[in-house]
Structure 1
Amino acid sequence: MKLIAPTRAVPTHIISGFLGAGKTTLLQQLLRQKPEQEVWAVLMNEFGQIGIDQQILPQSEGFEIKELLGGCLCCSSQLPMQIALSRLLDEAKPDRLFIEPTGLGHPLQLLEQLTEPHWHSHLDMRALVTVVDGSRLHDADWTQQNLYTDQLKAAQIIVISHPDQMQPADEQGLEKLKQEYQAYAPRWLAAENGQLPLAEIDLAHVGIQRKIQPLLQLQRTLPAQAELPEIKQLPYHYVETAQGYSVAGWKFSRRWQFDFYTLLDLLCEQQDWLRIKAIFHTNRGWKTFNFNPQQFNYQSSPENTDNRIELIYRNARDWSAFEEQLLACRIDNAA
């Protein structure tokens, strides 16, 4: 695959969001702000095989719209996306590019692809945008889905759509979201009918640093100067840093089972944290934990794809003792 170097890197916006959030409506309004002399391009991704959204975007001169059908360009093979994007840049030579992944996609994975070194001279990545339907913020079953939360974590800017339809319960849900995601320091904007000045989202991308590493107890068994192996499967430990905050997390196999009360005691004993979120397979069923400094919430939940926990702190911390205590809560005795 040959990339033709443009005269300058093209400002590139990822517009993400869960199904029905209002991504395409926002994109329509943004495209109406195109200066007459410029060419803007859009790369859209639909999970199904029939493209519809492309037909409701501008078809006039000065716009180049390309749609990728079937699968998710965030998670599936990178090659179709890389080829489509290269052709779009080469043929359209756009002054600005918008990418709208499917609502079932993981935008952080797409962002990681597009910030790889070979794209640096071609793409000027702007702040990643996630669109959230404000009228559904009262629905905990909607807002607690892993894919939904992954999209929020990836966002540098969160755009609330349908603000005119929000009820008091939605307003409360929005305040709760802002509190939960304060560690990622996103910018919150409201867009009624998708109306939003381009300048509000035309900000430089600021990346989240993430290290995925073996469990800390396994790291201690490696020689001091040894390079940590690449982690491709569970279990693992990771640390993310963004805007001065640290997020420490662990993921374990869904087959691992933990003692509920021992685990609850451990989480309640932690100090100086900003937020603790977790989902565990326990001897009292699958449980979700959502702690903030004002209240400790836990409840039964559907079976998850894995056991996971995240703790957000302002300051660095030695996590070895916590991991040791966490693993001591395990009761299934599996290898």
Structure 2
Amino acid sequence: MKTHVFLVSGRNPVQRATRIEQLLLEQAGAGKITLMASTEIFSVACVEAQAELFQLDAERKARGIHVLRLSPGCLCCSSKLVLTTHLARTLRLNQPNVLLMELESQSHPEQVLKLLNEPQWTDWFADITLVEEVA
């Protein structure tokens, strides 16, 4: 079984979150879902909004979605090691049918796509779709 990957990119963390929720609803019947989400939104959110985000993560987990918050930084530059480590571990242990990966605003979507198309990931991914945020 190979994983279907959706890379969600865009400048606005709130709009990315909206698009991610739409994708989660669209993929609800696809089997095991893992969300590797950015922590960027926490840096701009007030305490009340952060509490809502923690609640949203808890609700997603209750729906059977494995949620992993990634440390800040561009996933192809400063956080490449973090990405590859968490990604390899998630694929081995969780074996998701669908993986949604949120890219922070400073990430380079085409470079992350290139990274995920490297030979070490060939046996893991069925396809990789780059998804822009909702306008």
Whole-Å separation in 1 of the counterparts to 2:76 and 2:106:
9
Greater helix percent: which structure?
A: 2
Partner of 2:56: 56
* Correspondence for 2:91: 89
Q: Match of 1:56, as an amino acid?
A: L
Displacement after TM superposition at 1:55 (Å): 4.6
Say yes or no: does 1:18 pair with 2:20: no
Q: Decide whether the 8 Å contact of 1:9 with 1:120 is kept in 2.
A: no
Structure 1: which 5+ runs fail to align? 1-7, 132-159, 162-335
Distance 1:87 1:38, change over 3 A: same
Q: Which secondary structure does the structure 2 equivalent of 1:86 belong to?
A: helix
- 3-state DSSP of counterpart to 1:74: coil
Of 7, 23, 33, 1:40 maps to 33
Distance 1:77 1:30, change over 3 A: closer
- Deviation (angstroms), 1:59: 2.0
Higher relative contact order (CA 8 A, sep 6+): 2
More strand by share: 1
Work out which of the two has the higher radius of gyration on C-alpha atoms and give 1 or 2: 1
CA separation of 1:49/1:21 partners in 2, compared to 1, >3 Å: closer, same or farther?
closer
In structure 2, C-alpha distance between the alignment counterparts of 1:22 and 1:30, rounded to whole Å: 12
Cα shift at 1:46: 2.7
Deviation of the 1:115 alpha carbon: 0.5
Matched, 1:108 2:105: no
Q: How does 1:88-237 map to 2 (within 5 A)?
A: 88-131=90-133, 160-161=134-135
Structure 2 unmatched runs, 5+: none
Whole-angstrom CA distance in 2 between matches of 1:91 and 1:54: 23
Which of 58, 71, 74 pairs up with 1:72?
A: 74
1:222-260 CA-partner distances (Å, limit 9, x unpaired): xxxxxxxxxxxxxxxxxxxxxxxxxxxxxxxxxxxxxxx
CA distance in 1, matches of 2:54, 2:122: 27
**Does the residue aligned with 1:59 lie in a helix, a strand or coil?**
helix
CA spacing shift, 1:47–1:30, aligned 2, 3 Å: closer
Kept after mapping to 1: 8 A contact 2:2/2:124:
yes
Deviation at 1:129, TM superposition (A): 1.2
- Does the aligned pair in 2 maintain the 1:74–1:101 contact within 8 Å? no
**Rounded Cα–Cα distance in structure 1 between residues aligned with 2:4 and 2:32:** 12
Amino acid at match of 1:19: N
Give the aligned length.
125
- Looking at structure 2, the residues matched to 116 and 54 of structure 1 have their Cα atoms a distance apart, in angstroms, of 33
- The alpha-carbon deviation at position 32 of structure 1 amounts to 2.1
CA distance in 2, matches of 1:49, 1:123: 29
The CA distance in 2 between the partners of 1:72 and 1:110, in whole Å, is 9
Q: Does the aligned pair in 2 maintain the 1:43–1:65 contact within 8 Å?
A: yes
C-alpha distance in 2 between matches for 1:31 and 1:49: 20
Structure-2 separation of matches of 1:86 and 1:23: 24
